[in-house]
Chain A
Amino acid sequence: MNKDEYAKLVKELSPKEPRIKNAIYAFLVGGLIGFIGEVIVNILIESFGLARVDSYAWLALIIIGISCLLTALGKFDNFVTKAKCGLIVPTTGFAHSVQSASLDYKREGFVTGIGANAFKLAGSVIVAGIISAFFLIILKVMCYG
């Protein structure tokens, strides 16, 4: 069997991703998280009298807490494999990556395990955000004073 035939065989036998199904799941789950978030924000504004900006911060706290808890209980991985981007793109994905990394490396101890590996996956988001925000602020300040 030469290389081309082998490549063809691998392509035939590798499982096909159900792309349309994935896309529909991602749309529905992602949209549902946005919708539930808006409901929670309105409840916070109307029954606790919070300002709109503060209630967004409380919402982030609630979402992170719930997704950390579900990940620790071992339920969240099943949801992620089904909904994929529907749960990776909202803040749930950020919390999930930190929680699962620190659970995985728990047995290596607090410093070399949890401390060193907690931001293994989520660190790229923080670095990318800070770098881009910093240089865009510098650009804005230099252009517009």
Chain B
Amino acid sequence: MIYLNSFLFAGVVCLICQIVLDNSKLTPGHITSGLTVIGAILSYAGIYDKIIRWCGAGATTLISNFGHTLYSAGLQGYESSGFLGILTGLLSSCGVAIVSVIVFSFIFTIVFKSKD
């Protein structure tokens, strides 16, 4: 059942974004930034955890998961060590995405040539 849910959730979010992209003057940059903010707001409202429980990887592969992990890691940091914990904890679980994208892109940029 979770397979179907993850297919439907990821598909419907992409469908809505495609419709918004085609019918407005927004660029893909606006769409992804907006989705990140929406993810953080849904996490604030306590909804995103439930979506992940229902839809599994369908919710965590989307870019809105970035806002969710930032928010939840920051809140965890506040609970363990106060205000400074927000600043140190905010990137603790998003670090996977940021560090790995830098490492992979650096290696592949050195190895491969740009194809024009």
Contact = CB atoms under 8 A, between A and B. Distances in A.
Interface of A: 17, 19, 22-23, 25-35, 37-41, 56-57, 59-61, 63-65, 68-69, 71-74, 84-86, 88-91, 93-95, 98-99, 102-104, 106-107, 114, 118, 121-122, 124-130, 132-134, 136-141
A88 B78 CA distance: 32
Interface string B86-116: 1000110110111011101110110111110
Contacts of B41: 132, 136
A83 B46 CA distance: 31
Interface in B41-72: 41, 43-44, 55-63, 65-67, 70-71
Chain B interface size, as a band, is: 35 or more
Nearest to B83: A141
Nearest to B114: A103
A32 to B, nearest CB: 7
Contacts, number: 233
Contacts of A133: 40, 43, 67, 70-71, 74, 90
A102 B15 CA distance: 29
Nearest to B98: A126
A34 B106 contact: no
B80 interface: no
Given A26-B18, A38-B2, A125-B63, A130 B57 contact: no
B86 A98 contact: no
Contacts of B66: 91, 94, 125, 129
Interface in B9-41: 9-15, 17-19, 21-23, 28-29, 31-37, 39-41
A29 B14 contact: yes
